[in-house]
A and B are shown apart, each in its own frame.
Chain A
């Protein structure tokens, strides 16, 4: 009996898989549910951002840039294509202004559209 079973060893498992539903998610025809902790888009709260530049200093991919003008003016630029979505900026920010939401960036045409000014302050 044992030798007989060993000829078609995987057969019970195959039948079990046939009866279960497949785990493929037909994205984008079906919605893909991401957990809440999924690291997606970088979102900065403009009221909390002080322009200190800690996030710029700690970003490993040089995806954040701070352009300072006169009189406390600054612009925080984010490059979506350089960003590795590691979340170090959220960890380094002392004001708690940065959070990575579980949303994905939509594809765009043209790399210049991926350079985005996310905070502009006077």
Chain B
């Protein structure tokens, strides 16, 4: 303690406020945070180096396990990059199934996040309710693909699963259930006074800060910056479905909650469109095992924002370089800014509001 009554509170690497290890050192005076320092790298597994030692098919499964919550987004981006190098066209059924899993994953990720935010502000009931309703989305994913979080749906050239009429009907019924249950959460976010009292005017980011730190995803949309890859640079089957992109103007944690909740409901609508209009056809095309010495960049809208993959082949069946840039990396940089001059009690709210996925960021 060098200053008069400054305390140094360590948050992490292990702390009840964190899902994954990351270290903050907060300098606190009374109840006000004066300075903060950030340290990452605790979950670094050296995956980009491992990708160079395995062939493309093995890499598919390792890419899936970069992150547990947005696993399908990672495999989609990876497969799209390799397919771009090989120059293959996917059959429409494969594109629809890929998009379906993308949206189901967005639902599960946003519900998980809402529960975690509620837990951090002390609202344990909403935590229990959102994770109970998230089970519906997980059950649909397990029914369609065989896995709850590690789906294993994408292969280079298409998808590995095929769904029949019975599965489509059961998925539609369960999604209808989920839509009704989302009404409770929308109601709580809009009208529950303690929730508003804890999340309003906390962790504000202005649009200029968004542009300066290149923030993407729901955090950017909550500050009024209208950017969404699904509409701006459509991939998979997003150019064939109708959906809205939501923004908010307040820029605080409450606005981020609104944006994510509305996105969840919109994802249910997208899934319904995809399931009802599923085209017939093949689920995959044959691709060669060896990838020529070319490079490709592919982008995908993960639940947390824009995910970028760069793949370069070298003529063999192993990639020469795979580079991953995850959306969490952009939001991490804004954290010292957001943690400036706030109440100590708001620190977990801010940390939860940006939806950190450290496993993604550290690779």
Q: B-contacting residues of A (Cβ < 8 Å)? A: 6-7, 9-10, 13-14, 17, 23, 35, 37-39, 57-61, 84-88, 91-92, 100
Asked if B142 is an interface residue, CB under 8 A from chain A, the answer is yes
Which residues of B in the span 110-161 have a Cβ within 8 Å of any Cβ on A?
A: 125, 129, 132, 135, 139, 142-147, 150, 152, 155, 160-161
Partner of A38, one of B58, B64, B146, B150: B146
Chain B residue nearest to A100 in the complex (CB): B146
Which residues of chain A come closer than 8 Å to B64, judged between CB atoms? Answer: 86
Given the known inter-chain contacts A9-B188, A13-B129, A91-B160, please indicate yes or no for A58 contacting B193, CB distance below 8 A: no
Tell me the count of chain B residues lying within 8 A, CB to CB, of chain A.
Answer: 32
Which residues of chain B come closer than 8 Å to A14, judged between CB atoms? Answer: 125
Partner of A88, one of B60, B65, B135: B60
Interchain CB contact under 8 A, B57 and A35: no
Q: A-contacting residues of B (Cβ < 8 Å)? A: 54-55, 57-62, 64-65, 125, 129, 132, 135, 139, 142-147, 150, 152, 155, 160-161, 184, 187-188, 191-193
Closest 5 CB pairs of A and B: A60-B61, A60-B58, A37-B146, A39-B146, A58-B57
Interchain CB contact under 8 A, A86 and B152: yes
Interchain CB contact under 8 A, B57 and A6: no
Which residues of chain B come closer than 8 Å to A92, judged between CB atoms? Answer: 57
State the CA gap A88–B192 with chains docked (Å): 47
- The A interface is mostly helix, strand or loop, or mixed, namely loop
State the CA gap A8–B242 with chains docked (Å): 38
User: How distant is B193 from chain A, measured CB to nearest CB, in Å?
Assistant: 5
Which residues of chain A come closer than 8 Å to B161, judged between CB atoms? Answer: 37
Partner of A58, one of B58, B62, B129, B135: B58
Which residues of chain B come closer than 8 Å to A88, judged between CB atoms? Answer: 57-58, 60-61, 152
Which residues of chain A come closer than 8 Å to B135, judged between CB atoms? Answer: 23
State the CA gap A37–B132 with chains docked (Å): 22
Chain A residue nearest to B57 in the complex (CB): A58
Taking A6-B192, A86-B152 as given, write out 5 further A-B residue pairs in contact, using a Cβ cutoff of 8 Å, ordered by the A residue number: A6-B193, A58-B55, A60-B59, A60-B60, A60-B61
- The B interface is mostly helix, strand or loop, or mixed, namely helix
Which residues of chain A come closer than 8 Å to B142, judged between CB atoms? Answer: 35, 37-38
Interchain CB contact under 8 A, B191 and A87: no
Chain A residue nearest to B139 in the complex (CB): A35
State the CA gap A100–B57 with chains docked (Å): 18
Interchain CB contact under 8 A, A87 and B188: no
Interchain CB contact under 8 A, B132 and A23: yes
Chain A residue nearest to B54 in the complex (CB): A60
User: How distant is A89 from chain B, measured CB to nearest CB, in Å?
Assistant: 11
State the CA gap A9–B123 with chains docked (Å): 13
Which residues of chain A come closer than 8 Å to B125, judged between CB atoms? Answer: 10, 14
State the CA gap A111–B130 with chains docked (Å): 38
Interchain CB contact under 8 A, B192 and A10: yes
Interchain CB contact under 8 A, B143 and A37: yes
Given the known inter-chain contacts A9-B193, A92-B57, please indicate yes or no for A60 contacting B62, CB distance below 8 A: yes
Which residues of chain B come closer than 8 Å to A85, judged between CB atoms? Answer: 147
Chain B residue nearest to A39 in the complex (CB): B146
State the CA gap A86–B55 with chains docked (Å): 16
Which residues of chain B come closer than 8 Å to A60, judged between CB atoms? Answer: 54, 57-62
